[in-house]
Structure 1
C-alpha cells in the first residue's frame, strides 16, 4: 500500500445542530443528510467517534487516526515527538440561527474540569448584510456586571457585537467569550478539542425539545474578563512559498494564510511540513507525486510532508485558506 505521499481527501462528517441550516448544500453543492438541520461539516477530524475517512488513492478507507498512528513521519516530517492524534480540527459551520454564547477553556480551566483547551479561528465565507458575531466583552463590563446580566437572562448585553462580511477573519483564543451570529457561514480552524462551555442559549430548546445544558461554573472559570472589544483580525501581507499571501493567524497550534490565484495561475512549491489547503472560492488542481485532485469552493485537501513537491493550477480565479498544523504535543 505504501505511505501517504499524495494529496489526501477525506469524507465530511455532518453534524445536526438546532441552529443549523442548508447553506453547506446551497453554497457548495453538497448532498446533505435528510432530517434535522446541518450546522457543521467536520472536514478533517481525528476525534474519538468522529474520525475522518480517506476517500482517495491507495490508502482509501483508512481513518485519519490510523494514518497518524502508522505514518507520523510521512504526515508531519521529522519531529522529536509526534502527537497521538492529528493536532487540529477543520470544520465548516452554517449558522442559520445564532449559536449559544460560549467559551472554550484555557489549559488551567481544562485541567480543572477535565476538558481540553481550545483556540480557534473563523474565516467568514458568507454572511447576510445584517450578520454579526459576538466577540469578547463590551468596554466597562466587569465580572460582577456580567454575572448580574447573565442571571437576568440578558447576557448578550454584555458582549461586544461586530458586523461581519465575507472575507472577515475572527480569532478566538481560549478564554474569549463569543457567539457566531445568524446568517454566517465560516471555515473554522481549531485545536483538536471538542470542549465548549455554554454560557447562555437565548432561551431556546434543543433538537430534543429540551433546554440545552449550560456550564456556568466552568464558563466563569474560563472567561477572560479583561478581553474587551477585540475586533477583527487584520491580515498581514507576506510571501508564502514564493507567492504573495497574507498571514491571518499565527498561534502555537496552527498558522493560517490566505492566498489569491488568478485564472490559469500556476504555483509550484516544496513543503517540509503538513499543509491543509481549503478553497474559499474558485476551482484548483492540486498535484503531488503524480496524483492530481480537483478541489472547488468548500473543499479541502491535506498535503502530507511526504508529498514534498506540490503544484497548484487555478482553473478559475481562486481564494485559498492555507493551514499549517503545529506539533504542540
Structure 2
C-alpha cells in the first residue's frame, strides 16, 4: 500500500477512444505502409505521392520507409525549395525577441518562406517524369504539388517534439540549433513554427488520403482519411481523456509517482499534464491498434462539437480550459510568480487571453501553506529593489516581509486571477484549473536555486512589476480568494458547491460530493472534470448517447458540448461510498 493512498493506484496512463466501424483501417510498420501506398499506383503513367510533414518528424525515416516498396522513384525533398535558415531566422527575428523564454505570437504562413525560383525548378523536375513515382516529402511537400495522386499527412505531438529537443536529436525547422538549450527551441516552436505548421495541417484534414502516426521511431501507424476523421467525430460524442504526460522539476515531489504508478527513473515528478489539448496526445483505438495524434487536432477539426457554439464564438479554435497537477509533496516551493493581465499578454506577446488560474488541493500535509498576495502597506519600489538584489545573488528575498502565507487543507480551492502574486509551497498536491495560455509565468524569485540542468531558472521581474496588482493585499485576498466555497444545491445523496473562481476569471467551477448518482447538463458547453475523491466512478448517458465510461481517482476527463446530459455515480470499489468531482466550464 502506498504512502499517500490506502489503495493500489488505478490511474489509466494510456486512455483511448475506441473507434467503431473502422477496425480494419489501420496499417502498421513501414513494409506494410509502403505496400499499401504502392497498391494505389497505376500500371503505367506518372504517380505523385506527397507526404506533408509536421516539423520534428524524422523525415529521412519517412523517405526510406515509405519508398521501400517502389521500384523506380523520383524523390524530392520539400526543404530544398525553402529559403535558407539564415533568411528564415531573420524574417522571424522580431517575433522571436532576445528573451530566453518569451516571444511574440507570429502570424507567418509557410508560403512566405518559399524560394520561388527553387519551387519552379522542382515543379519542372517533377513534371518531366512521365512514367513512375514522384515522391515528395517534408515540411511544405504540398506546396510543390497541391493536388497529388496520393496525399499522406505525417503528424507528431508537441510533447514528442519537446522530447526530441531535450535529447538534442533535432533543432527547430530551418534553424541550425540542435545543440541550443531546449527553452529556446521550445520558444521558437511555440511562437512560430507550430502555429505555421498548424495552419498547413488544418487545410489538409479533408484532403489527406492517409494520416501517419510517427511518435515512435521506425514504428509508423497509418490510418485512412475517412477513418481518421470519423474517429474525431466519434470522440466528440462521448466522454474521453487525452493522454497525460509527466515531467520532473527542481521543486517536484513524490505524490504523482505513487498515485499514478510511474517508474522510478526520474528524481521526482513536478508536473502531470492531464488535460492540455495543445500539447497532449489523443489515442484512437482501431480494433487492437492504437493510433496516436495531437489532441489539438480534435479542437481544430471539431471545435463547435467539442467546445460548443458559445465557447467557439469567444475563443475560436483554442480550447480554453486546462487541468494539470503540481506536486511538491516531499518537494520544494514553486517559484514566487505572477501572471500577466489581459492587456499585457495581448500587447506584449500577441495572445488573446491570459492565464487566470486556481489551485485545488487534492492532498497536502497538515502544515501546508500557499503564498498569496501582498501584505498590507508594502512599499512597491522597495520590494522590486529587493527582488532584483535577490536575482543578482546579493540577498535572499525576504518573502516574509512582503508576501502573505495562508494555511491550506485538502479540498481547498484557491482562486488566483492574473496579477496576483502566488506560490504553491512544499508538501502540497495541487490540481491546477486554469485558462490555457500556459507558459506565461513571470517568475519573481526562485528561492536561490538552480534548475535540474544546473542553470538558474529565468526570472522576469521587469515583466512582473508591470502586472502585479499592488492592491491585492491581505484583506482583499481573504475577502475574494480564500474559502469561497458555497453550497448551491443539496439532494438526498449529494451536495453541489460553487468553489470559485473570482469574477475576473471566465471559468466556473462546481464540486459535487455524495454517494449517489448526480445528473449534469452541459447546456451545449464543454465540461472538464476530475475525480478528486473516491477510487472509481462511472459516467453514463440517461438516453444512451454513449457507452458507460469509467474514470478513476485523479483522472481528468472531458465531456464534449455535443453531449447533452450525463450522470456520474460511484462504481466498482467506490460503490455506496462518497466520491467527489470538480467540474470546470466557461461562464456565459
The answer, yes or no, to whether TM exceeds 0.5 is: yes
> What residue is the counterpart of 2:376 in the other structure?
139
Q: Which one is further off, 238-247 or 313-322?
A: 238-247
The structure whose Rg is larger is 2
CA contact (8 A) 1:199 1:214 kept: yes
In structure 2, the partner of 1:161 is: 405
Shift of 1:136: 0.5
Among 83, 86, 91, the alignment partner of 2:316 is 83
Counterpart pick for 1:275 among 523, 527, 530: 527
1:236-255 to structure 2, matched below 5 A, reads 236-239=486-489, 244-250=495-501, 251=503, 252-255=505-508
Kept in 2, the 8 Å contact 1:38–1:94? The answer is yes
Cα-to-partner distance string for 1:271-311 (whole Å, 9 max, x where unaligned): 22211121111121112423122112111111112122212
Contact 2:484/2:500 (CA < 8 Å) preserved in 1? no
Q: Deviations over 1:45-99 (max 9, x none)?
A: 133xx23424669996343311111112211233372522211211011012101
CA deviation digits over 1:143-197, x for unaligned, max 9? 0231243234324121000111101111111000111100010111111112100
Q: Secondary structure at the match of 2:257?
A: helix
Q: Point out where structure 1 has 5 or more consecutive residues left out of the alignment.
A: none
Give deviations 1:1-41, integer Å, cap 9, x for gaps. 24420111111121221101221132x24325722421111
Q: Give 1:190's aligned residue.
A: 434
TM-score by length of 1: 0.90
Q: Bigger CA drift: 50-59 or 177-186?
A: 50-59
Aligned-pair CA distance for 1:241: 11
* Structure-2-length-normalised TM-score: 0.52
Following the alignment from structure 1 to structure 2, what is the Cα–Cα distance between the partners of residues 211 and 73? 43
Partners of 1:202 and 1:311 in 2: how far apart? Answer: 45
SS in structure 2 opposite 1:307? coil
For 1:198-277, list aligned pairs within 5 A.
Answer: 198-229=443-474, 230-231=477-478, 232-239=482-489, 244-250=495-501, 251=503, 252-262=505-515, 265-272=516-523, 273-277=525-529
Q: Spell out, residue by residue over 1:216-238, the C-alpha distance to the aligned partner (whole angstroms, 9 max, x if none).
A: 10011111111102131321111
Change (3 A) 1:77 1:110: closer
Tell me, in whole angstroms, the C-alpha distance in 2 between the residues paired with 1:69 and 1:257. Answer: 27
**SS of the residue 2:454 aligns to:** coil
Please say if residues 368 and 427 of structure 2, whose CA atoms lie closer than 8 Å, have aligned partners that are also in contact. yes
- The answer to whether 1:10 aligns with 2:260 is no
Whose helix fraction is larger, Structure 1's or Structure 2's? 2
Q: Is the 8 A contact 2:244 2:280 kept in 1?
A: no
Q: Superposed, which structure 2 residues align to 1:101-140 within 5 Å?
A: 101-114=336-349, 116=351, 117-140=354-377
Which residues of structure 2 form unaligned runs of 5+? 1-229, 390-394
More strand by share: 1
The 1:57/1:260 distance shift into structure 2, 3 A limit, reads farther
